[in-house]
C-alpha cells in the first residue's frame, strides 16, 4: 500500500498525521516539494552521498536512508562534494569516532564552497552525549544529528533541517518503537539484509552496543515474513537475518516466538534459496535451532559463534555467561548434528587481566573447535564500558606477540579445513565482477567462502554448480559444471 503512495498528491495544507508511517510519508511529500523548488532554483538535480561506517545493521539502516532520499527527489553521487552528505556512524571502537571527526574536517571545505550543502550525522556514535557536545562546539557546520532509535523519523528531520538555520538535534535514549513500511534502496538486487530485532540485553563488559542500540525489541513475525516475501518477488534469492543477538529473538513479543520457529516460517517461503543469520550468542543457541538447521536445505550450514576468549576466568570478566567447557560442548553438539557446518568466530586478545595461561586456553579452544575462519582483534579500550576501568591492562608488546601466535594458528587450521573442499562441486551465488580480473566473477559458497570463476555480468545474482579446482587459502578458483 505505502509503496504506491504518490507524494505529489499528498495534501500538505492539513496537519501532519500522528500515526506512523503515515506521518513520515507526509514529511516525504513536504521534503519532495522543497527539494523540487531548490533544484529549480539551482537548475539541476540535488545530489546526496551516504557513507556507512560499521556493521551490517548500519548498512541496512543506510539502505533505508537512501530509499527516502531518492523518494524525495535527491539523486545519488559518488562524491562527498554533494548537496547532502550523511555519515551513518559506528562507535564500537574509539578510532571509529576519530575517523568521523577527520572526515568532518574534510567536509567543511566543501560546505564553505556550497553554503546550502547539508551535513547529517546519525548512527551509534550519535547516541553518546559527549560526542554530540563535541560536535556542537567544534563542528558547528553540521546541520542534523540523530541516533539509532529514531531513524524512521528521517523524512521529518530532513524537513526540519531544510527549514532551520540552526543545528537540528534529535537523539533518543531508548525506544520500544518499530516502524514498518518505509522506503528503502537495496545495494544488491539479489540479496538483502533483513532486521529481525534491534538492541541488545547482554552488556558484555567490553562492548558499547547496548548503550547505543538500546534494549532488545523484536519485529513481529508476520512483518518479517511479509518483507521477505516482497523481497523474493523483487528478485532476492538470499537473505541475511540481522540482530545483535538473533538467538534471543521473540522473547519480548506479546506472543513469544523462538528464533528457530521464525526460521521454519522463513524456510517455507517459495522462491527463497538461501538463508543466513548473524549474530548468534553461544549462551542462547538452542537444540531447536540446531535441529531446524540440520533439516533445512535453505539455511546455510554456517554458524558464526563468537568465542571472545577461551578462558573461563576472562569470559566471566567479559560477562559472556558461558564457560570454556560449555562453549566446547556446544561446538561438539553442533558438529555432531550438522557435520558439514562451517564454524567461524570472533576472538579478543589482550583483554585486561589476560595471563599467558588464559591465552593458552584460547589457543586450546581454537585447536579443538577447528574454525573455518576467525575475526581476531586486539583488545581496544572503549570508554563508557566496564572493561575500560579494569586494572591489569596488558602491555602492547605482550598483546602483539599473542595476537601473532593466534593468527598463525587460526590461519593454519582454516587452510587445512578449506583444502577439504578442493575438487568438490558446490553451489555458488555469483555476486559481482571480479575487481582484479574482468574475465572472472566472484561469488560465495553457503559456508561464506569466496570463489572466483570465469564468467560475466549476466551471471550475477544466480546460483551455479561450481567445481572448486584450487584452494588459495582464503578463496577458491573454480569452474561452472552442468
- Express each pLDDT in 192-245 by its tens digit: 999 999 999 999 999 988 888 889 999 999 999 999 999 999 999 999 999 999
Amino acid 31: pLDDT: 97
Amino acid 408: pLDDT: 96
Per-residue pLDDT tens over the stretch 345-398: 999 999 999 999 999 999 999 999 999 999 999 998 888 899 999 989 999 999
Amino acid 1: pLDDT: 60
Residues of the chain with pLDDT under 70: 1-2
Amino acid 474: pLDDT: 83
Whole-prediction pTM: 0.91
Q: What SS3 string covers the chain?
A: CHHHCCHHHCCCCCCCCCCCCHHHHHHHHHHHHHHHHHHHHHCCCCEEEEEECCCHHHHHHHHHHHHHHHHCCCEECCCCCCCEEEEEECCCCHHHHHHHHHHHHHHHHHHHHCCCCEEEEEEHHHHCHHHHHHHHHHCCCCCEEECCCCHHHHHHHHHHHHHCCCCEEECCCCCCCCCCCCCCCCCCCCEEEEECEECCCCCCCCCCHHHHHCCCEECCHHHHHHHHHHHHHCCCCEEEEECCCHHHCCCCCCCCCCHHHHHHHHHCCCCCCEEEEECCCHHHCCHHHHHHHHHCCCECCEEECCCECCCHHHHHHCCCCCCHHHHHHHHHHHHHHCCCCEEEEEEEECCCCCCHHHHHHHHHHHHHHCCCEEEEEECCCCCCCHHHHCCCCCCHHHHHHHHHHHHHHHHHHHHHHHHCCCCCEEEEEEEEECCCCCCEEEEECCCCCEEEEECCHHHCCCEEEEEEEEECCCEEEEEECC
Amino acid 406: pLDDT: 98
Q: What percent of the chain has pLDDT over 90?
A: 88
Amino acid at each position: 500500500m505505502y509503496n504506491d503512495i504518490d507524494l505529489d498528491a499528498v495534501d500538505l495544507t492539513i496537519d501532519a498525521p500522528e500515526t506512523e508511517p503515515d506521518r513520515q510519508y507526509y514529511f516525504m511529500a513536504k521534503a519532495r516539494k522543497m527539494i523540487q523548488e531548490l533544484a529549480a532554483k539551482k537548475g539541476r538535480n540535488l545530489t546526496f552521498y551516504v557513507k556507512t561506517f560499521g556493521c551490517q545493521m548500519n548498512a541496512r539502516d543506510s539502505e533505508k536512508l537512501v530509499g527516502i532520499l531518492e523518494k524525495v527527489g535527491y539523486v545519488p553521487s559518488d562524491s562527498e562534494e554533494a548537496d547532502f552528505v550523511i555519515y551513518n556512524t559506528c562507535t564500537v571502537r574509539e578510532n571509529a569516532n576519530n575517523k568521523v571527526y577527520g572526515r568532518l574536517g574534510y567536509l567543511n571545505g566543501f560546505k564553505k564552497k556550497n553554503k546550502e550543502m547539508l551535513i547529517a550525522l546519525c548512527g551509534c556514535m550519535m547516541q553518546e552525549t559527549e560526542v554530540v557536545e563535541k560536535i556542537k562546539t567544534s563542528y558547528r557546520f553540521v546541520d542534523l544529528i540523530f541516533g539509532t532509535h529514531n531513524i524512521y523519523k528521517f523524512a521529518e528531520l530532513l524537513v526540519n533541517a531544510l527549514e532551520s538555520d540552526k543545528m537540528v538535534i534529535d537523539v533518543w535514549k531508548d525506544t520500544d518503537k518499530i516502524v514498518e513500511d518505509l522506503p528503502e534502496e537495496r545495494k544488491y538486487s539479489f540479496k538483502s539484509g533483513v532486521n529481525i530485532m534491534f538492541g541488545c540485553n547482554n552488556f558484555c563488559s567490553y562492548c558499547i552496543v547496548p548503550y547505543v542500540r538500546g534494549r532488545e525489541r523484536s519485529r513481529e513475525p508476520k512483518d518479517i515474513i511479509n518483507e521477505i516475501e516482497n523481497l523474493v518477488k523483487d528478485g532476492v534469492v538470499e537473505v541475511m537475518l540481522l540482530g545483535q543477538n538473533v538467538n534471543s529473538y521473540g522473547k519480548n513479543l506479546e506472543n513469544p516466538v523462538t528464533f528457530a520457529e521464525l526460521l521454519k516460517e522463513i524456510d517455507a517461503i517459495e522462491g527463497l534459496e538461501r538463508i543466513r543469520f548473524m549474530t548468534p550468542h553461544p549462551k542462547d543457541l538452542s537444540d531447536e535451532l540446531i535441529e531446524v538447521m540440520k533439516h533445512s536445505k535453505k539455511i546455510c550450514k554456517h554458524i558464526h559463534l563468537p568465542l571472545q576468549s577461551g578462558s573461563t576466568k576472562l569470559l566471566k570478566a567479559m560477562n559472556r555467561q558461558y564457560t570454556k567447557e560449555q562453549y566446547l560442548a556446544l561446538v561438539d553438539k553442533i558438529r555432531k548434528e550438522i557435520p558439514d557446518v562451517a564454524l567461524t568466530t570472533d576472538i579478543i586478545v589482550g583483554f585486561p587481566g589476560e595471563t599467558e595461561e588464559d591465552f593458552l586456553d584460547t589457543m586450546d579452544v581454537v585447536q579443538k573447535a577447528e574454525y573455518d575462519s576467525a575475526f581476531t582483534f586486539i583488545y581496544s579500550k572503549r570508554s563508557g564500558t566496564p572493561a575500560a576501568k579494569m586494572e591489569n591492562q596488558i602491555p602492547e608488546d605482550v598483546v602483539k606477540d599473542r595476537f601473532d601466535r593466534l593468527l598463525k594458528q587460526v590461519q593454519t587450521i582454516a587452510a587445512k579445513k578449506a583444502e577439504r573442499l578442493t575438487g568438490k562441486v558446490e553451489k555458488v551465488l555469483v555476486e559481482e565482477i571480479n575487481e582484479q580480473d574482468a574475465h572472472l566473477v566472484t561469488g560465495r559458497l553457503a559456508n561464506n567462502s569466496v570463489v572466483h570463476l570465469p564468467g560475466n555480468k549476466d551471471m550475477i545474482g544466480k546460483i551455479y554448480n561450481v567445481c572448486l579446482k584450487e584452494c588459495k587459502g582464503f578463496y577458491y578458483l573454480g569452474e561452472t559444471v552442468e
